[in-house]
């Protein structure tokens, strides 16, 4: 690990001033950044410790939605009464991620910003990784790519986003609030993370001097019909091969009035397709509707050899998650 300077700002304004300095990185729980620094993947000259800032609150919004401060620990967010009651999908996704010890350290903001867990990216023994060294190539394309993307990939990168939380946020249509010394802006969660294109070194649209300050959830009536299904190689502490977040709002006849549907483990960002949600609207969430939604969600899916199986796995997972959500959910 390279030497670095350490600063602990007393206020958000001071933190933003420090973030404007070259090669500064914010650190809260550090559950991902420290690993990257140990491996020589990240080499910040200065760490800005934002873990003590007063942004660890969960607040109800005037419209009935919910605001999660960026400093809220994953374990606290998962167990918060408002999250459990009104957004159980998010609670389930958080509890599916990592170990209790890591959830006690990791924050909402940090979870959004975690880097891909592609082993070619983490291991500098592999020479070709466009994410680590732009222009060097992608060893995963012709290598062992069982964990890699089947949607939204490019010839430059087939890595996947590892977050469980972000998949639930995509299905719930969350917004990400960003702030820098230059001002504030808000991005829909679907616009926050990037597809690799020809710039795979950029995982998200956040600028180097910006901080995630909060995540806002719009009001939802899907608490009783939501589901987070995570399929992985082992039951504990494993990243998703495929995950599915489903949030259904139903009328008295059981027909879908509004649907949220997103896939994880399959792309460089949580994968949400409006056409897939539209395939459920106005219909009973039965097998036929679920098949149509899965077809729309997986349109254009393409494997790379070792991960070909993920296409059918994702299709079945979507159908199962919709069926479970339709039957009703409890937490």
22-36, 96-110, 204-218: range with highest mean pLDDT: 204-218
Burial of 1 (0-12, 13-18, 19+ CB in 10 A): exposed
Domain 223-327 has CATH 3.30.390.50: yes
pTM for this entry: 0.96
- What is residue 235's predicted lDDT score, i.e. its pLDDT? 82
For residues 46 and 21, the answer to whether their CB atoms sit within 8 Å is yes
- What is residue 331's predicted lDDT score, i.e. its pLDDT? 60
Burial of 195 (0-12, 13-18, 19+ CB in 10 A): middle
Backbone φ and ψ for 225, nearest 5 degrees, come out as -140, 60
Tokens linked to 121? 């990216």
For the chain, the structural domain boundaries read 1-51, 223-327
Task: Compute CA distances 73 → 20, 50, 52, whole Å.
Answer: 25, 13, 12
Burial of 219 (0-12, 13-18, 19+ CB in 10 A): exposed
Using pLDDT thresholds of 50, 70 and 90, give the confidence band for residue 15: very high
How confident is the prediction for the chain on average, in pLDDT? 96
Q: How far apart are CA 294 and CA 296, in angstroms?
A: 5
- What is residue 132's predicted lDDT score, i.e. its pLDDT? 94
For residues 194 and 205, the answer to whether their CB atoms sit within 8 Å is yes
- What is residue 312's predicted lDDT score, i.e. its pLDDT? 98
SS3 78: helix
Name residues whose C-beta falls within 8 Å of residue 4's C-beta, 6 or more positions apart in sequence: 37, 44, 45, 46, 47
Using pLDDT thresholds of 50, 70 and 90, give the confidence band for residue 330: low
Taking residues 120-133, report their average pLDDT: 94
Q: How far apart are CA 231 and CA 242, in angstroms?
A: 5
Q: How far apart are CA 66 and CA 215, in angstroms?
A: 8
Q: What is the CATH number that goes with domain 1-51?
A: 3.30.43.10
Predicted confidence (pLDDT) per residue in 42-83, tens digit = 999 999 999 999 999 999 999 999 999 999 999 999 999 999
Looking at residue 271, what DSSP letter applies?
B
């Amino acid at each position: 690990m390279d030497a670095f300077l350490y600063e602990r700002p007393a206020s958000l304004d001071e933190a933003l001033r420090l973030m404007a300095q070259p090669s500064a990185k914010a650190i809260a729980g550090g559950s991902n950044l420290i690993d990257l620094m140990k491996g020589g993947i990240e080499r910040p000259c200065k760490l800005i410790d934002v873990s003590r800032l007063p942004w660890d609150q969960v607040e109800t919004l005037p419209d009935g939605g919910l605001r999660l401060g960026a400093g809220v620990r994953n374990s606290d967010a998962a167990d918060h009464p408002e999250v459990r009651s009104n957004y159980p999908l998010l609670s389930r996704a958080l509890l599916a991620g990592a170990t209790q010890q890591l959830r006690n350290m990791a924050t909402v903001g940090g979870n959004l910003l975690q880097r891909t867990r592609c082993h070619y990216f983490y291991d500098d023994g592999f020479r070709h990784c466009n994410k680590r060294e732009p222009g060097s190539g992608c060893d995963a394309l012709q290598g062992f790519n069982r964990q890699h993307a089947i949607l939204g990939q490019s010839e430059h990168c087939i890595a996947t986003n590892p977050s469980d939380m972000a998949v639930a946020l995509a299905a719930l249509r969350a917004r990400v609030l960003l702030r820098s010394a230059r001002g504030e802006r808000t991005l829909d969660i679907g616009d926050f993370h990037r597809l690799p294109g020809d710039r795979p070194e950029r995982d998200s649209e956040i600028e180097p001097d910006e901080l995630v300050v909060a995540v806002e959830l719009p009001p939802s009536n899907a608490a009783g019909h939501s589901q987070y299904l995570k399929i992985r190689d082992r039951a504990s502490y494993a990243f998703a091969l495929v995950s599915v977040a489903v949030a259904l709002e139903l009328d008295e006849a059981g027909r879908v009035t509004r649907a949220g549907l997103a896939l994880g483990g399959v792309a460089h960002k949580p994968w949400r397709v409006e056409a897939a949600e539209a395939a459920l609207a106005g219909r009973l969430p039965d097998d036929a509707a679920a098949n149509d939604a899965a077809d729309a969600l997986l349109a254009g899916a393409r494997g790379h050899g070792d991960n070909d199986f993920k296409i059918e796995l994702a299709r079945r997972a979507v159908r199962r998650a919709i069926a479970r959500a339709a039957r009703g959910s409890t937490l």
